[in-house]
Amino acid sequence: MDCDILVIGAGVLGLSSAYHMKRRDPSKKILVIDKFSGPGQGNSAKSEGGFRNVFTSETNYLLADTSIDAYKEMEEQGHDIKLQFIGYLWLFSQGQHEAIKPAVDAIVKRGGSVTVLSLDELKESVPCLVTGFGGDEEAELMGLEDVAVGVFGEKCGSLDADALTRAYEAEFLRLGGEVMYNTEAKRLLLKPEEELGIPGEPFVWQNTRIVGAETSKGSINAAKTVIACGVWAASLMDPVGLDSFMRPKKRQLFAFKDAKLGPLFKVKGLNEEGSIPLTILPKAKILFRSELSEGSIWLGCADDLGRRFELEEDPQAEEDYYTNNVYHVLVKYFPCFEDVRPMNMWAGQYAINSLDETPVVYEAHGMYYIGAASGSGIMKADALGRIIDALVAGEEEAELQGGRRFRVANLGVRYRHVEHERFVI
């Protein structure tokens, strides 16, 4: 064998997985390959970098909360991943709040650090927020509702997704791991467990396993192969009849830096920095946050219906999508955005699990798959890396950061057990 474990994909999930597997057994030869020239250049570094532990699903909460704790430890150990606990702020109309109140109550009962802000408290904390649209015909035409309540998550915020990915790479290399960039996996290699030397092998009656990959730099044989290449997983798994349980969908980010946005950095009482938290509007799934390192605002939109599933090698942001679409809702709630145009924009792709939007981790015929994170790969990467490490090691439970335990099969296929998430963006 060329290596004990081959990891295909050097994004945050691939490098977290590689690090945790190498940490378990430094003697194992673990090789990570990626078609790009550096870590996270597929989609990881294009992320908005938001993280939260505000979930009703115990699975989502455990994956995110333990990962956040791991990231705090990373910072303490000297990795500057720009961890900022600026919080998450959901803005709800009265009707939306009544519908979501049972979910919020469940989070509070669990002991989650969530605060419900009244309308007066919102006005005090975020003076630049417009909470009512009485007499505004355009707002009425767009179906915008008055803001009645804010729900604020404290153990939430943002980090530098590129820095996080590079931190995992650095720790993996420190332990003696190997990485090959500019190395594209073309197809998975299948071989019978007992080769007979007969042309046409493997036959349907032979026990067959995946034993590595054919790459742009030749064949790499491996005892175990981990598929962690995000939206490109299907291109490797489909030809051998394995399911990645995900479909790719473009997500766009727009960055703004303008003196008009100064009020967004003068928020009161929500975080130590006095900046706007990651804020989710009541309409159109628009969200934005402050990026303190550059004094800018990053904005995205979780546009599902009307946004097609499509694998794009080089996705591009669409400026008119912001100016002719998102802008008109945004400026009603936050007039400080009026006539402010993006200084920068980019696009990446989510690997969407459209069934339950929870990551998938399973093994089949010597292949170990980690993916379908549905946009939560950054906030759950540490826990997911530990879970696939346990799966590769043949353990039923993974030990997450802080000693909490997680049943590996819960993210699998045959014995999958994930709860319905009621607190979604």
Determine the Cα–Cα distance for residues 18 and 226; give it in Å rounded to an integer: 9
**CA triple 380-321-96, angle to 5 deg:** 60
Determine the Cα–Cα distance for residues 25 and 175; give it in Å rounded to an integer: 10
**What's the pLDDT score for residue 126?**
97
Contact between 62 and 379 under an 8 Å Cβ cutoff? The reply is: no
Of 72, 74, 52, the C-alpha closest to 64 is 52
Kindly state the tokens that stand for 333: 């709630």
**What's the pLDDT score for residue 305?**
86
Taking 70 as the threshold, does the pLDDT of residue 393 lie above it?
yes
Residues 393-402, buried b or exposed e (16+ Cβ, 10 A)?
eeeeebebbe
- What topology is assigned to 3-68+162-246+355-411 in CATH? FAD/NAD(P)-binding domain (3.50.50)
Determine the Cα–Cα distance for residues 147 and 349; give it in Å rounded to an integer: 31
Identify any residues that bridge with 179 across adjacent strands, giving them in sequence order: 32
Rounded to a whole number of angstroms, the distance between the first and last alpha carbons of the chain is: 45
Distance of CA 208 to the CA centre of its chain: 33
Taking 90 as the threshold, does the pLDDT of residue 1 lie above it?
no
Determine the Cα–Cα distance for residues 91 and 97; give it in Å rounded to an integer: 9
Taking 80 as the threshold, does the pLDDT of residue 112 lie above it?
no
pLDDT in tens, 320-345: 999 999 999 999 999 999 999 999 99
Host H or E run for residue 96: helix 94-110
Of 233, 223, 177, 180, the C-alpha closest to 377 is 233
**CA triple 202-208-212, angle to 5 deg:** 100
Taking 90 as the threshold, does the pLDDT of residue 387 lie above it?
yes
Kindly state the tokens that stand for 149: 């309540």
Q: Phi/psi class of residue 375: alpha, beta or left (left: φ > 0; alpha: ψ in -120 to 50)?
A: left
pLDDT in tens, 349-386: 999 999 999 999 999 999 999 999 999 999 999 999 99
Report which of residues 306 and 182 the model is more confident about: 182
Averaged confidence pLDDT in the chain: 95
Contact between 159 and 98 under an 8 Å Cβ cutoff? The reply is: no
pLDDT in tens, 170-205: 999 999 999 999 999 999 999 998 888 888 888 889
Percent of the chain with pLDDT over 90: 91
Contact between 278 and 87 under an 8 Å Cβ cutoff? The reply is: yes
Place of tokens 């920095």: 273
Phi and psi at 65, nearest 5°, equal -65, -45
Determine the Cα–Cα distance for residues 26 and 24; give it in Å rounded to an integer: 7
Host H or E run for residue 58: helix 58-76
Q: How many residues can be counted in the chain?
A: 425
pLDDT in tens, 63-92: 999 999 999 999 999 999 999 999 999 999
pLDDT in tens, 214-272: 999 999 999 999 999 999 999 999 999 999 999 999 999 999 999 999 999 999 999 99
Domain range list for the chain: 3-68+162-246+355-411, 88-154+248-350
Kindly state the tokens that stand for 288: 């934005």
Determine the Cα–Cα distance for residues 138 and 130; give it in Å rounded to an integer: 14
**What's the pLDDT score for residue 185?**
98
**What's the pLDDT score for residue 304?**
84
Identify any residues that bridge with 218 across adjacent strands, giving them in sequence order: 215
For residue 296, name the pLDDT band (cuts at 50, 70, 90): very high
Homologous superfamily assigned to 88-154+248-350: D-Amino Acid Oxidase, subunit A, domain 2 (3.30.9.10)
pLDDT in tens, 23-38: 999 999 999 999 999 9
Determine the Cα–Cα distance for residues 393 and 52; give it in Å rounded to an integer: 29
Question: Under 8 Å CB-to-CB from 62, ≥6 apart: which residues?
Answer: 383, 400, 404, 406
